[in-house]
């Protein structure tokens, strides 16, 4: 029910307000996200003694990496995973580079809802002004969670609740660290192993030991009971997506829990509203106008756009209720692979019909087809030449994938001059 209500609220301002409503709400949501991430980053470093001390402590915890991650090539939270191919020990490196660095850090820039923003700028000067701000925002929104999630291991190792267990293997006698089997007291003076609900086996965890005492298990066998603290994933009970929420509820003030909740809602609502708007624009321009008919004023039908937004809302909510998480993750990765670097501008595309009439931006009359042709219209300088082999390959790839004529290098006019072939200004284009 919460998901449905959240989607309806988003659609309530996207359908009547269009791009202007999306941009105004994105501004407010972005401010909430910036405040939440900055405060979370500052609090984490302050509670761990500063930037240098926090990262040194995290580096020193490399021998506490869980065994499954070690088998995938994990070498510590401040080091890149082991590189190679053809073996399981290299899987983590490829996951980090392809999914996190390229997919989240770079591929996200080519997602349709962000290209919508790129297409609204009127000139290269405005675009140049926006690039530094956008870069800082992306670094903060993607970098802060990665940093905080890693540093939460240090916080739990220093301040987490004490865990009790039986030593299975010593990790480092000098650092007083060991792999232990977590135990609980079932009757006074009697201890038994805690069973992992997923594996059905006793729960194992790396522990920084602070106390050693004699004890007796349920079978009456004596053993050395140790107490100490562990890493973040242990306190999250093996669920990686619970690390940050568990850290916030355990470490930060209670009032920040509401702020962080608003931060998450802002991030989700911002992406959802932009995608709904792009879906409606594509349906009105690419399907209705190009396939069915044009309206008298040459603009896509608003009714079609709004119906497409409603249809997209229903499909999204249905998938969210019925599809498993694994399929959502797989679909996101496939989509990120499609989001290649934006192609070159082709101002003669019939899909790009931005005119000189006043308005908030040419994308109001441009669909996703226009995005494929005009996303490069941001510079009046000639494109740099590349070696002939690469040049031929790139032009062939663009022609095959984007169906763009594979012509040679040309100057790329500013976005405000991107016209349809029918417009007078585009008649001189080759």
pLDDT in tens, 390-418: 444 445 544 444 444 434 444 433 434 44
What pLDDT shows up at residue 51?
Answer: 93
Task: State the average pLDDT over residues 90-115.
Answer: 79
Task: Check residue 347 and give its pLDDT.
Answer: 37
Residue 368 has pLDDT above 60, yes or no: no
Domain-embedded: residue 287: yes
Most confident of 81-85, 137-141, 287-291: 81-85
**Residue 355: inside a domain:** no
pLDDT of 205 above 80:
yes
How many domains are contained in the chain?
Answer: 3
Pick the residue with more confidence: 75 or 106? Answer: 75
State the DSSP string of 298-325: SPPPHHHHHHHHHHHHHHHHHHHHHS-H
Residue 346, pLDDT > 50, answer no
Write phi, then psi, for 359 (nearest 5 degrees).
Answer: 165, 170
Together in a domain, 79 and 139: yes
Q: Are residues 100 and 55 in the same domain?
A: yes
pLDDT in tens, 157-199: 999 999 999 999 999 888 899 999 999 988 888 899 888 888 8
Is 301 within the bounds of a domain? yes
CA-wise closest residue to 123 among 375, 399, 356, 414:
414
73 lies in some domain: yes
Q: Give the least confident one: 231-240, 243-252, 345-354.
A: 345-354
Do 294 and 386 fall into the same domain? no
Query: Distance between CA 387 and CA 399 in Å, rounded?
Result: 18
Strands 190-193 and 204-217: parallel
pTM: 0.69
Q: Do 265 and 136 reside in the same domain of the chain?
A: yes
Q: Token match 């040459």: residue?
A: 298
Query: Is residue 299 very low, low, confident or very high in pLDDT (cuts 50, 70, 90)?
Result: low
Q: By residue range, what is the domain housing residue 200?
A: 160-250
346 domain-assigned: no
pLDDT, position 57: 94
Domain assignment present for 368: yes
Please give the mean pLDDT across all residues of the chain: 75
Provide the token pair at 9: 């609220």
Q: Is residue 17 part of a domain?
A: yes
330 and 377 co-located in one domain: no
Distance CA 238, CA 261 (A): 22
Check residues 356 and 166 and name the one with the higher pLDDT.
166
Structure tokens at 126: 């405005």
In a domain, residue 392? The reply is: yes
Where is pLDDT greater, at 369 or 262?
262
Picking from 338, 353, 373, the residue at the C-terminal end of a domain is 338
DSSP string, 175-205: TTEEEEEEEEEEETTEEEEPBPTTTSSB-EE
Domain identity same for 242 and 259: no
Does one domain contain both 166 and 223? Answer: yes
| CA geometry: angle 96, 337, 315, nearest 5 deg | 110
Residue with tokens 């931005």: 354
Does residue 240 share a domain with residue 264?
Answer: no
Query: How many DSSP H helices and E strands does the chain contain?
Result: 14, 5
Beta bridge partners of 13: none
Domain match, 12 and 24 both? yes
In this structure, the answer to whether residues 306 and 405 fall within a common structural domain is no
Mean pLDDT of 75-82: 91
Average pLDDT over residues 30-50: 91
Asked whether residue 245 falls in the same domain as residue 376, the answer is no
- % pLDDT > 90, the chain: 21
Q: Return left, alpha or beta for 15; rule: phi > 0 is left, psi -120 to 50 is alpha, else beta.
A: alpha
Distance CA 279, CA 246 (A): 35
Tens-digit pLDDT profile for residues 111-158? 777 777 777 777 778 878 877 888 888 888 888 888 999 999 999 999
pLDDT of residue 370: 38
Q: Return d(Cα 300, Cα 281) in angstroms, integer.
A: 8
**Pair (287, 232) in one structural domain:** no
287, exposed or middle or buried, with CB in 10 Å at 0-12, 13-18, 19+?
middle
**pLDDT of 369 strictly over 80:** no
């Amino acid at each position: 029910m919460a998901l449905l209500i959240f989607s309806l609220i988003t659609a309530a301002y996207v359908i009547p307000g269009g791009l202007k409503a999306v941009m105004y709400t994105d501004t407010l949501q972005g401010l909430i996200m910036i405040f939440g991430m900055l405060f979370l980053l500052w609090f984490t470093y302050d509670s761990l003694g500063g930037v240098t001390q926090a990262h040194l402590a995290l580096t020193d915890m490399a021998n506490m990496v869980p065994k499954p991650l070690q088998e995938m090539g994990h070498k510590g939270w401040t080091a890149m995973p082991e590189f190679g191919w053809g073996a399981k020990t290299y899987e983590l490196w490829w996951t980090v580079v392809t999914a996190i660095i390229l997919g989240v850090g770079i591929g996200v820039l080519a997602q349709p809802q962000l290209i919508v923003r790129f297409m609204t700028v009127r000139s290269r000067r405005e675009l140049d002004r926006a690039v530094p701000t956008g870069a800082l925002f992306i670094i903060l929104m993607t970098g802060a969670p990665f940093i905080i999630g890693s540093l939460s291991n240090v916080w739990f190792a220093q301040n987490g609740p004490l865990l009790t267990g039986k030593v299975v293997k010593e990790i480092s006698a000098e650092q007083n660290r060991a792999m232990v089997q977590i135990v609980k007291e079932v009757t006074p003076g009697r201890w038994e192993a805690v069973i992992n609900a997923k594996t059905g086996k006793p729960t194992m965890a790396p522990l920084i030991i602070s106390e050693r005492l004699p004890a007796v298990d349920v079978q009456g066998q004596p053993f050395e009971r140790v107490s100490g603290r562990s890493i973040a994933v242990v306190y999250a009970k093996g669920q990686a997506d619970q690390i940050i929420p568990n850290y916030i509820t355990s470490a930060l003030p209670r009032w920040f829990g509401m702020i962080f909740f608003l931060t998450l809602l802002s991030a989700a609502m911002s992406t959802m509203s932009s995608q709904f708007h792009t879906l409606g624009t594509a349906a009105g321009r690419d399907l209705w106008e190009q396939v069915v008919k044009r309206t008298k004023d040459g603009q896509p039908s608003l009714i079609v756009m709004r119906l497409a937004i409603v249809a997209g809302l229903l499909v999204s909510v249905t998938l969210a209720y019925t599809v498993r998480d694994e399929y959502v993750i797989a679909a996101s990765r496939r989509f990120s692979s499609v989001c290649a670097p934006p192609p070159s501008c082709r101002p003669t595309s019939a899909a790009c019909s931005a005119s000189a009439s006043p308005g908030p931006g040419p994308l109001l009359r441009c669909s996703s087809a226009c995005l494929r042709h005009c996303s490069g219209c941001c510079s009046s300088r000639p494109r740099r030449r590349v070696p002939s082999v690469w040049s031929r390959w790139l032009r062939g790839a663009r022609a095959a994938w984007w169906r763009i004529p594979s012509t040679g290098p040309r100057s790329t006019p500013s976005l405000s001059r991107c016209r349809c072939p029918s417009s007078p200004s585009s008649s001189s284009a080759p």
